[in-house]
Structure 1
């Protein structure tokens, strides 16, 4: 939204003040490719940063985003992730912990249909699903209306 930078700064301030109580996870909007999209394509963060604070602030935020984990486990009982379930049901916590790097780039959805999830490595599919899945009211997976490679769960 139009105050995304100020909201992020406020939440970061809460994290500094209450470090044991405020936690961040990385989702699709914490990736440079989404930040640099125009507002009408789900982005706008770069534009807002440049207009209000400049490129140096934008790059600092990108550095923060790159450190965010993809998932968390609360008290060994609750799995928390930005998006949703994985297209491969056998994904385990050990698989997630063994990803080469949660900072790794994931395959980008560009909406043009010129990529296909069958070419992704298992790690790329996990990274993508952790940041892009959408819930739907039915049981199981279905192709998303948002484009190729995306699944609703």
Structure 2
């Protein structure tokens, strides 16, 4: 009976070791999956921050070039149109994502802020379009 008892204990011990080894492998795989997910989210955050920073610069360019274009400076009209178009593209990346880089739309967590910027952008875009249309006259 002692041999049978030892063999049962040995079988149980081997089973426990195998189960623990499988659990270890699963947890290591989950750890790597977590690292990959966090790395992806970090890259998205870098892109969001880059686009938001560029939007800030472009809004200043739009203001400067709008003033100069309204004063009749010919060069300012092209610079204003370029800044407006670039702002529109980058704003689209934040709202809808960028398929070229795989960037998804900005998270719903900042939905209220996006709505506020959208309202401001619509007003600014209309004003910019009026100034650009005045170049023709």
TM-score by length of 1: 0.29
From the two aligned structures, give the one with the greater helix fraction. 2
From the two aligned structures, give the one with the greater strand fraction. 1
TM-score by length of 2: 0.31
